[in-house]
């Protein structure tokens, strides 16, 4: 993509626009020029310092999750060639001569410009800490930085069991860097000089919630201190970091991510005005203060409101403004930008918007905090009820609705906006309730009205078409869910039937496919695709969306439609997800985990001894899970039958940790042991787990039984939860822990044993019948028309006359249940699949290796196998 080097470039036949820098903002500027036709009438030259075209710096850390540098590219294939843009990679500008209007690059290439645009971005700030240049110190800014960090960490892993890495800076990029080090297998420290993490974005409460959650993940956080000195050994490599409070961290590498500074040296050298604290001074059209032929955009620019913006959305707005000015169009000018942001750090959702810190005089705070689940929500409101801003940590689901409501009086009270679903608040406001001038896509400043217009005036009939028309959803991606809802609502309001098909293979939803399979008693995916697939998909192989979904439907209906039900026979085996292929959970290094079922958490000493012996004999890592089970990690695929032979002989069966099925029914000890218990919760938990074991469903199912209202089993955080009363049992449904916690809703109370089981039967089968693919009961309950009231009418009051059918479906499941591992061990043909290499069945996988940790083992990350299905030939090709 780089142009051929030449000492001088002079093209006087048409004006020339030179862009210095090709990051996210630079690429957006080029797109804006192309949209305005500037590239057709002007020569455009780009000088880029990095060896690769613009890439998504916001998603930089996803490189460590398996995305390649090419995956991160923001340049559409053929874009430069199509628009005649000359991109010079690895050839940064070194001097600007404003008198002759020329730019000279490192290679000696010189180009004359009519308009010059500086998009040089920023550089990482490295505090002046003694030892900052020792071997093992890095910054976290570019793909090349990440490659260097990864290589150094892998060398450390080869030398020692658990090397340590430290990040200086607890802001956005600092926590991203910490996540990267953690993922590379290092003990990870974060050092932040401010008293809390992410001090710019979140308040004290949000910072505390974020810290608790991150520390629970094993990251060690130091706040209110700075680095005093980085020490090194005789070889010059990092050995530790002295902190300002006198403490010391023993660390093997240090990553600086303590903020950025505007990269404005080129501007300084050529006499352009810069701010006192850096940044190229520009006006509302992004022209530099003392040269109208030169523009500055993005992180290198000091806007006319006196701020340097470090987020991509303001940079995009600057790019649009500068492109409009160069094209000779009128501009609204850039006078500032919304600093709202939503991101996921170390797996934790964090968002802030508007006046997040409550700086407005007389404002009030509305706060919801759940320290147990790491959720913190704060809304800042004016005394007249106007929403001014907010902070969301741990649950940022409402960000897409709350941010556009900023500056308005919401239609419901602020208390109801922060309460979790199922706690008395109304159904959450959707994007359709927002005014047309509400900004839905903050990255590209796209309003709800513009999205509606794309559908009604520009005939966009799908979300991808609306994205292409408006650019909404093509930035950070946080608005895609709201965008999809708006597009579908607008299409339906226009009388257009929205395609709610499962995938490109089927025009039917999952619920509709369930009814087709049940009614026609179909037992084959191939038969279903041939009879009800889209015409263009018939005769094909299906896709990764519909195959496991149909496999799950057939498995859940197997007794009723006459199917075998064993998921690894014939066609069914080809439909399963990776984990189901081997009846075990695939781990990051290519090994598997084994989870025997332990109903109710109750286990005899003899069975405990068997588990211990199996773990010892096969060298497995052993952990007691939060669901009252014992997880055994580190088995090779060829060891799975040997392990399960011993477990089945001891009376264990599959715990279905690998499947979309019932996982556990957790319990406290109940009235048998506890002085507060009013019912036998252990007995009920065992009965329920044995009844619903193996039940395939749209998503995993979790349950719990608490013996009294003290709720020690946390039943209200489960898909169906039971809490004992003095008169029987209360049944709660639709709960969920994890990333989007939701309290379960009370479905019925004071039930007898028989009434309880009957209602759970009905509830589960109604959910399986009507839920979408991969939809938890919590999301299903909020989505289904009528919500909890409708579900109660159906499963309690039989309003649809379905209850006999639902109970019969569950009875068939219970009657025909067979343990999958016991079935597998009794069939030599089924056992034949459990090999690492199809052409060498007895050869173990050499990439599955372990290193010691705390008297057990952990994966050796230096030979990380990755998440691919480990059935391959010795040459590594797919079987």
Q: DSSP letters of 178-199?
A: HHHHHHTT-EEEEEESSSSSST
Which helix (H) or strand (E) segment holds residue 102: the answer is: strand 102-105
CATH no. for 585-816: 3.30.413.10
pLDDT along the chain (879 residues), means of 10: 47 85 94 93 95 85 72 88 95 95 96 96 91 94 90 87 90 86 88 90 86 86 94 93 94 92 94 93 93 95 87 88 91 75 74 86 87 83 91 82 83 79 50 76 82 88 83 73 82 78 84 90 88 84 82 84 68 69 75 87 90 92 84 89 94 90 92 88 94 93 93 92 94 83 90 96 96 90 87 94 94 91 88 74 73 81 43 34
Residue identified by tokens 């940079």 is 315
For 858, residues 6+ apart whose C-beta sits below 8 A from its C-beta are 621, 850, 851, 852
Residue identified by tokens 């890495």 is 165
Tell me the pLDDT tens digit for each residue of 249-300: 999 999 999 888 999 999 999 999 999 989 999 999 999 999 999 999 999 9
- How would you write 294-354 as a 3-class SS string? EEECHHHEECCCCCCCCCHHHHHHHHHHHHHHHCCCCCCCCCCCCCCEEEEECCEEEEEEE
Top CATH class, 8-123+262-326: alpha beta
List strand residue ranges (DSSP E) for 153-266, in order.
164-168, 187-192, 220-223, 227-232, 238-243, 248-250, 253-256, 260-262
Three-state DSSP at 823 gives helix
pLDDT at residue 340, rounded to an integer: 74
Report yes or no on whether pTM surpasses 0.95.
no
pLDDT at residue 786, rounded to an integer: 85
Nearest to 38 by CA among 111, 114, 101: 114
C-alpha 718: how far from chain center:
22
Nearest to 308 by CA among 336, 270, 288: 336
CB-CB contact of 530 with 486 (8 Å): no
- Paired with 593 in beta bridges are 585, 633
Nearest to 353 by CA among 262, 481, 439: 439
d(CA 33, CA 16): 12
Nearest to 84 by CA among 164, 11, 148, 146: 11
Cα dist. 282→232, 314, 316, 334 in Å?
44, 14, 15, 10
Count Cα atoms within 13 angstroms, Cβ side, for 707: 18
For 645, residues 6+ apart whose C-beta sits below 8 A from its C-beta are 825
CB neighbour burial string for 548-580, b if at least 16 within 10 angstroms, e if fewer: bbbbbbbbbbbbbbebbbbbbeeebeebbbebb
DSSP 696: B
For Cα atoms 307, 313, 315, give the angle at the middle one, nearest 5 degrees: 55
d(CA 718, CA 733): 7
d(CA 572, CA 581): 10
- How would you write 640-663 as a 3-class SS string? HHHHHHHHHHCCCCECCCCCCEEE
Residue 546 main-chain phi, psi, to 5 deg: -80, -30
Count Cα atoms within 13 angstroms, Cβ side, for 626: 9
- Paired with 446 in beta bridges are 441
User: Does the annotation place 479 within a ligand binding site?
Assistant: no
In CATH, what is the architecture of 338-429?
2-Layer Sandwich (3.30)
For 664, residues 6+ apart whose C-beta sits below 8 A from its C-beta are 601, 627, 628, 629, 655, 689, 702, 703
User: Does the annotation place 674 within a ligand binding site?
Assistant: yes
d(CA 233, CA 281): 45
CATH superfamily ID and name for 137-258:
FAD/NAD(P)-binding domain (3.50.50.60)
In terms of DSSP H, where are the helices of 539-631?
A: 546-561, 570-575, 578-581, 605-618
Nearest to 111 by CA among 13, 6, 266: 6
CB-CB contact of 352 with 171 (8 Å): no
- For residue 429, is it left (φ>0), alpha (ψ between -120 and 50) or beta? beta
Cα dist. 632→161, 657, 821, 856 in Å?
21, 11, 16, 11
User: Does the annotation place 443 within a ligand binding site?
Assistant: no
d(CA 797, CA 793): 5
Three-state DSSP at 468 gives helix
Q: Tokens in use for 135?
A: 């071997």
Characterize the bridge pairing of strands 122-124 and 115-118. Answer: unpaired
For domain 431-491, say whether CATH 1.10.10.1100 is its number. Answer: yes
Q: Tokens in use for 856?
A: 């057990």
For 10, residues 6+ apart whose C-beta sits below 8 A from its C-beta are 111, 112
Q: Tokens in use for 707?
A: 């013996």
CB-CB contact of 560 with 606 (8 Å): no
Nearest to 400 by CA among 483, 336, 320, 457: 483
Q: Tokens in use for 748?
A: 């019925």
Cα dist. 269→314, 626, 719, 777 in Å?
26, 60, 63, 61
For Cα atoms 312, 318, 324, give the angle at the middle one, nearest 5 degrees: 140
d(CA 32, CA 30): 5
Residue identified by tokens 């209110």 is 224
DSSP 12: T
Residue identified by tokens 């479905």 is 747
d(CA 218, CA 190): 11
CB-CB contact of 169 with 199 (8 Å): no
d(CA 761, CA 703): 13
- Residue 220: Cβ within 10 Å count: 15
Sheet of strand 248-250, all strands in order from the earlier edge strand to the far edge: 227-232, 238-243, 248-250
Three-state DSSP at 145 gives helix
DSSP 239: E
CB-CB contact of 69 with 143 (8 Å): yes
- Paired with 220 in beta bridges are 189
Q: What is the residue-wise DSSP string for 730-760? A: EEEES-B-TTS-BPPEEEEEEE-HHHHHHHH
Q: Tokens in use for 541?
A: 């192989």
Q: Kindly tell me the sign of the dihedral angle through the C-alpha atoms of 368, 371, 375, 376.
A: positive
Three-state DSSP at 412 gives coil
Cα dist. 84→115, 298, 642 in Å?
17, 24, 63
Three-state DSSP at 828 gives helix
CB-CB contact of 628 with 710 (8 Å): no
d(CA 584, CA 412): 47
């Amino acid at each position: 993509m780089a142009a051929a080097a030449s000492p001088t470039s002079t093209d006087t036949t048409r004006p020339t626009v030179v862009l210095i820098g090709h990051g996210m903002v630079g690429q957006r500027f080029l797109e804006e020029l192309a949209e305005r036709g500037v590239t057709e009438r002007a020569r455009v030259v780009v000088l880029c310092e990095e060896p690769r075209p613009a890439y998504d710096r916001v998603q930089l850390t996803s490189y460590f999750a398996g995305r390649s540098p090419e995956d991160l590219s923001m340049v559409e294939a053929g874009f430069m060639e199509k628009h005649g843009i000359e991109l010079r990679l690895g050839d940064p500008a070194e001097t600007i001569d404003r008198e002759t209007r020329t730019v000279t690059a490192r290679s000696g290439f010189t180009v004359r410009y009519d308009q010059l645009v500086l998009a040089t971005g920023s550089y990482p700030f490295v505090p002046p800490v003694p030892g900052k240049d020792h071997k093992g110190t890095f910054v976290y800014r570019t793909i090349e930085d990440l490659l260097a960090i990864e290589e150094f960490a892998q060398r450390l892993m080869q030398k020692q069991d658990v090397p340590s890495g430290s990040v200086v800076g607890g802001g956005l990029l600092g926590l991203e860097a910490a996540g990267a080090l953690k993922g590379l297998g290092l003990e990870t420290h974060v050092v932040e000089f401010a008293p809390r993490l992410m001090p710019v974005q979140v308040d004290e409460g949000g910072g505390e919630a974020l810290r608790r959650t991150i520390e629970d993940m094993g990251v060690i956080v130091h706040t209110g201190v700075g680095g005093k000195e980085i020490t090194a050994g005789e070889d010059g490599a990092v050995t530790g970091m002295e902190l300002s409070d006198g403490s010391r961290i023993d660390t093997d590498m240090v990553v600086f991510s303590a903020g950025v500074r505007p990269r404005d040296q080129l501007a300084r050298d050529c006499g352009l005005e810069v701010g006192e604290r850096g940044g190229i001074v520009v006006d509302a059209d992004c022209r530099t203060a003392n040269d109208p032929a030169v523009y500055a955009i993005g992180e290198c620019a000091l806007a006319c409101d006196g701020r340097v913006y470090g987020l991509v959305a303001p940079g995009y707005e600057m790019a649009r403004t500068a492109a409009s000015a160069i094209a000779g169009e009128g501009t609204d000018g850039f006078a500032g930008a919304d600093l709202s942001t939503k991101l996921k750090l170390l797996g934790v959702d964090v968002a802030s918007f508007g006046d997040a810190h409550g700086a407005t005089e007389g404002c009030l705070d509305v706060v919801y905090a759940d320290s147990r689940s790491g959720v913190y929500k704060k809304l800042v409101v004016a005394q007249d009820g106007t929403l001014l801003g907010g902070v969301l940590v741990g649950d940022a689901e409402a960000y897409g609705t709350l941010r556009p409501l900023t500056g308005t009086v919401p239609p419901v009270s602020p208390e109801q906006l922060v309460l979790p679903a199922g706690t008395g608040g109304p159904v959450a406001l959707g994007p359709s309730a927002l005014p047309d001038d509400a900004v839905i896509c903050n990255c590209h400043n796209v309003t709800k009205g513009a999205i509606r217009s794309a559908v009604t005036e520009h005939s966009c009939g799908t979300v991808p078409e609306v994205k292409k028309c408006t650019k909404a959803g093509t930035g950070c991606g946080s608005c895609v869910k709201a965008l999809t809802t708006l597009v579908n609502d607008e299409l339906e309001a226009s009388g257009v039937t929205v395609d709610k098909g499962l995938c490109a293979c089927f025009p039917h939803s999952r619920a509709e496919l369930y009814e087709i399979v049940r009614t026609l008693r179909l037992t084959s995916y191939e038969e279903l695709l041939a009879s009800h697939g889209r015409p263009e998909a018939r005769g094909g192989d299906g896709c990764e969306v519909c195959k496991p979904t149909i496999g799950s439907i057939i498995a859940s209906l197997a007794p009723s439609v006459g199917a075998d039900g064993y998921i690894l026979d014939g066609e069914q085996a080809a439909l399963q997800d990776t984990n189901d292929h081997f009846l075990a959970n695939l781990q990051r290094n290519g090994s598997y985990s084994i989870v025997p079922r332990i109903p109710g958490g109750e286990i005899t000493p003899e069975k405990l001894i068997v588990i211990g012996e199996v773990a010892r004999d096969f060298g497995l890592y052993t952990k007691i899970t939060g669901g009252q089970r014992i997880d055994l990690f580190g088995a090779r695929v060829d060891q799975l039958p040997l392990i399960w032979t011993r477990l089945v002989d001891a009376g264990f069966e599959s715990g279905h940790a690998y499947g979309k099925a019932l996982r556990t029914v957790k319990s406290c000890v109940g009235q048998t042991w506890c002085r507060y218990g009013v019912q036998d919760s252990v007995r009920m938990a065992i009965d329920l787990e044995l009844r619903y074991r193996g039940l395939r469903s749209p998503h995993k199912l979790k349950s719990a039984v608490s013996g009294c209202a003290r709720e020690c089993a946390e039943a209200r955080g489960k898909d169906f939860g039971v809490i004992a009363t003095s008169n029987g049992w209360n049944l709660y449904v639709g709960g969920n822990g994890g990333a989007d916690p939701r309290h379960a809703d009370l479905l019925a109370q004071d039930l007898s044993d028989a009434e309880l089981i009957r209602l759970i039967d009905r509830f589960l089968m109604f959910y399986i019948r009507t839920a979408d693919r991969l939809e938890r009961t919590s999301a299903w309950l909020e989505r289904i028309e009528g919500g909890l009231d409708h579900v109660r009418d159906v499963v309690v009051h039989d309003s649809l006359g379905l209850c006999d059918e639902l109970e019969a479906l569950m009875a068939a499941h219970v009657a025909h249940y067979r343990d999958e591992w016991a079935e597998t061990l009794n069939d030599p043909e089924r056992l034949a699949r459990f090999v690492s290499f199809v052409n060498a069945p007895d050869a173990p996988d050499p990439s599955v290796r372990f290193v010691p940790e705390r008297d057990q083992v952990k994966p050796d990350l230096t030979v990380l196998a990755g998440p691919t299905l480990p059935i391959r030939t010795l040459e590594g090709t797919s079987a």
